[in-house]
Amino acid sequence: MPRTPPTAACPCASGKPFADCCQPLLQQTRPAPTAVALMRSRYTAFALGYFDYLIATLHPAQRAAMSVAQLQEQDHHTRWLSLQLVDHQGGQAGDTEGQVHFIARYLEGAVAGELEEHSAFRHEQGRWFYTTGTPRFRTLGKPRRNDPCPCGSGKKYKHCHP
């Protein structure tokens, strides 16, 4: 399982070091304080291969339908590039439900794509859980060397994620 150095920027695009952001959540030393924090940590779990965490943060009612092996197979050819938070409602301390709208950019082989999802979260027994999502996938095509990188960095593809 790949690991990010604790001083590196967190893959969730929070702007914080990994050690101060998603790492404690992925190591399950503290729970996500909000639905947005859980969504960001789940993105990071996909990006870094923390599949056990994805199962642990899936609502118990949905866990029977998912396994680590299934997640590994789905993610086998995917390289997650960036996360953009679009909007959220609820999901704060004291709330029992929250919704998060996000866009995650990725490469599958040499083809770029976007996953846009409206996710639902529930707070139970002191923890946030992912319950459902409505994903929409868009294929962006194969970036050329001098195209802007699909991760949204503003760099040319050849200098960013070739």
Query: What digits encode the pLDDT tens for the residues 23-66?
Result: 999 999 999 999 999 999 999 999 998 989 999 999 988 887 77
With cut-offs at 50, 70 and 90, classify the pLDDT of residue 111: confident
Q: What is the pLDDT, as a whole number, of residue 110?
A: 83
- The string of DSSP codes covering the chain is -----TTSBPTTSSSSBGGGTTHHHHTTSS--SSHHHHHHHHHHHHHHT-HHHHHHTB-HHHHTT--HHHHHHHHTTEEEEEEEEEEEEE-STT-SEEEEEEEEEEEETTEEEEEEEEEEEEEETTEEEEEEEEEEEEEEEPPPTTSBPTTSSSSBGGGT--
71 in a structural domain: yes
75 in a structural domain: yes
127 in a structural domain: yes
Arithmetic mean of pLDDT over the chain: 88
Q: What is the CA radius of gyration of the chain?
A: 16
Residues spanned by the domain of 65: 18-107+116-141
155 in a structural domain: no
158 in a structural domain: no
Whether the predicted pLDDT of 4 surpasses 70: no
Q: What is the pLDDT, as a whole number, of residue 23?
A: 95
Whether 59 contacts 130, CB under 8 Å = yes
Start-to-end Cα distance in the chain: 22
Domain count, the chain: 1
Q: What is the pLDDT, as a whole number, of residue 39?
A: 97
Name the residue among 13, 32, 26 with its Cα closest to residue 95. Answer: 32
Q: What is the pLDDT, as a whole number, of residue 1?
A: 47
Q: What is the pLDDT, as a whole number, of residue 65?
A: 73
Determine the average pLDDT of the residues in 134-150: 84
Distance CA 80, CA 11 (A): 9
CATH of residue 22's domain is 3.10.450.50
Whether the predicted pLDDT of 69 surpasses 90: no
6 in a structural domain: no
- CA 88 from chain centre, in angstroms, equals 15
126 in a structural domain: yes
